[in-house]
């Protein structure tokens, strides 16, 4: 595999980053994950828009313009012969003497690599995923796609220990989002519900596309918080992210959602999403 590391394409597995990179020392950086399906980028524009916003929010100047970003991504795809998979982009504040206060005008460190994977053939799409709920232990700016992911790392370990696939995190009695995904439910009267955008959640790119598809299909939408109990009583539940597209949730905290099988609203949205991509 070939990676892009601070201006150059290099073999991924021997690539290095300076010890004093603030991404390594402070988690002082942001990232994006974009899917590639049959050699097509999935919603690449919105991912690059969100990268730009994350950078702005933490005061790092975007080192590349749109055409340059796309050029690097395309070259990465070419060098890795990537037909299906993920492109990971990370931008950190750069290399400096260790000090919480950062010097002005640091050169950001940019890293990209690709992962070969058939995002569209996840066995969980047929099988359904198990989710557990846990308190959301993240900071107050979850709208920034920060590389500081310790709370999510620990949440995912807890999920694995419970034989679950994802964690739905709760704050003040309501589900915020998945550890690495956006949470959706379908109410018994057929309404698609997901939490309102705020600093409590990442503005998911897949979330936005799924909502647009649902709206065009004539589904009733509601953006509002929902509780674990409402999710347990829902007709369907699912989660979305660039790395999974959409995965039906068939168990929450060990209890089945409806009949415990992936539902028709999920299936139809997933199929329409694939048509939108291909
Ligand atoms: N995670 N919420 C959180 C906390 C996330 O980490 C992600 C994505 C999402 C979904 O966003 P999108 O649809 O734009 O991918 C929501 C990526 C895939 C990751 O960390 O690997």
ipTM of the complex: 0.99
- 260 close to 128: Cβ distance less than 8 angstroms: yes
Residue 55 belongs to what domain range?
2-118
Say yes or no: CB of residue 265 within 6 Å of ligand 1: no
pTM > 0.90: yes
- Report the distance separating Cα 246 and Cα 77, nearest Å: 23
Q: Are residues 179 and 110 part of one domain?
A: no
Residue 148: name the closest of 90, 106, 85 by CA: 90
Q: How far apart are CA 276 and CA 262, in angstroms?
A: 21
Q: What are the tens digits of pLDDT across the range 41-100?
A: 999 999 999 999 999 999 999 999 999 999 999 999 999 999 999 999 999 999 999 999
Give residue-wise pLDDT tens across range 109-127. Answer: 999 999 999 999 999 999 9
Could you tell me the distance, in angstroms and rounded to a whole number, from the CA of residue 49 to the centre of ligand 1?
14
CB of 46 closer than 6 angstroms to any ligand 1 atom: no
Q: Is the pLDDT of residue 135 over 90?
A: yes
Give ∠ CA 46-51-202 in degrees, rounded to 5.
80
* Residue at which a domain ends, from 96, 118, 140: 118
The pLDDT of 141-159, averaged and rounded, is: 98
**Average pLDDT score over residue span 171-178:** 98
User: Which pLDDT band, with edges at 50, 70 and 90, does 262 fall under?
Assistant: very high
The band of 13, judged by pLDDT with boundaries at 50, 70 and 90, is: very high
**For residue 137, is pLDDT > 90?**
yes
Residue 269 has pLDDT above 90, yes or no: yes
Q: Are 4 and 91 in contact (CB under 8 A)?
A: no
Q: Is the pLDDT of residue 239 over 90?
A: yes
Q: Tell me, what's the pLDDT at 51?
A: 98
Looking at 98, 118, 138, the residue that finishes a domain is 118
Based on the fold, state whether residues 201 and 91 are members of the same structural domain: no
pLDDT at 203: 98
Ligand 1 atom closest to 47 (CA): 14
Provide the domain count of the chain. 2
Instruction: Report CA(33)–ligand 1 centroid distance (Å).
Output: 8
Q: What is the mean pLDDT of residues 226-243?
A: 98
User: Domain containing 101 — which CATH number?
Assistant: 3.30.470.10
> In whole angstroms, what is the distance from residue 156 CA to residue 166 CA?
7
Residues 75 and 97 in one domain: yes
> Does residue 145 have an active-site annotation?
yes
Model confidence at 278: pLDDT above 90: no
The answer to whether the CB of 202 is under 6 A from ligand 1 is yes
245 sits in the region (left: phi over 0; alpha: psi -120 to 50; else beta) called: left
Q: Would you place residue 275 in the very low, low, confident or very high pLDDT band (cuts 50, 70, 90)?
A: very high
Asked whether residue 276 carries a pLDDT value surpassing 90, the answer given is no
Pair (66, 198) in one structural domain: no
Question: Are residues 254 and 195 located together in one domain of the fold?
Answer: yes
CA 56/CA 62 separation, integer angstroms: 8
Q: For residues 11-37, give the mean pLDDT.
A: 98
Distance set, CA 57 to CA 16, 145, 195 (Å): 27, 10, 22
Q: Is the CB of 207 under 6 A from ligand 1?
A: yes
State the average pLDDT over residues 143-152. 98
Instruction: Give the residue-averaged pLDDT of 240-248.
Output: 98
Residues 103 and 158 occupy one common structural domain: no
Residues 150 and 220 in one domain: yes
Q: How far apart are CA 202 and CA 212, in angstroms?
A: 17
Last residue of a domain, one of 85, 103, 118: 118
| The pLDDT value given to residue 21 | 98
* DSSP-derived 3-state class of residue 92: strand
| Residues 134 and 11 occupy one common structural domain | no
Same-domain status, 107 and 157: no
């Amino acid at each position: 595999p070939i990676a892009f590391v601070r201006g150059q394409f290099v073999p991924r597995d021997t690539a290095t980053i300076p010890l004093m990179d603030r991404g390594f020392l402070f988690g002082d950086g942001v990232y994006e994950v974009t899917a590639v399906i049959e050699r097509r980028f999935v919603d690449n524009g919105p991912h690059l828009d969100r990268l730009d916003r994350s950078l702005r929010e933490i005061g790092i100047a975007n080192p590349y313009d749109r055409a340059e970003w796309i050029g690097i991504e395309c070259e990465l795809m070419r060098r890795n012969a990537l037909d299906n998979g993920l492109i990971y982009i990370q931008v950190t504040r750069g290399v400096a003497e260790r000090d919480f206060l950062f010097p002005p005008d640091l050169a950001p460190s940019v890293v990209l690599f690709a992962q070969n994977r058939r995002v569209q053939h996840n066995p969980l799409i047929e099988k359904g995923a198990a989710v557990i709920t846990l308190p959301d232990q993240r900071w107050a700016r979850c709208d920034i796609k920060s590389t500081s992911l310790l709370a999510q790392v620990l949440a995912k370990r807890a999920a694995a220990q419970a034989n679950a696939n994802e964690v739905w995190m709760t704050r003040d009695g309501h589900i915020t989002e998945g550890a690495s995904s956006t949470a959706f439910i379908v109410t018994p009267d057929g309404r698609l519900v997901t939490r309102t955008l705020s600093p409590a959640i990442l503005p998911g790119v897949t979330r936005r596309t799924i909502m647009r598809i649902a709206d065009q299909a004539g589904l009733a939408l509601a953006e509002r918080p929902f509780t674990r109990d409402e999710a347990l009583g829902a007709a369907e539940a699912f989660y979305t992210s660039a790395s999974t597209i959409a995965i039906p949730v068939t168990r929450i905290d060990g209890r089945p959602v409806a009949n415990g099988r992936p539902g028709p609203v999920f299936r139809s949205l997933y199929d329409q999403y694939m048509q939108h991509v291909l």
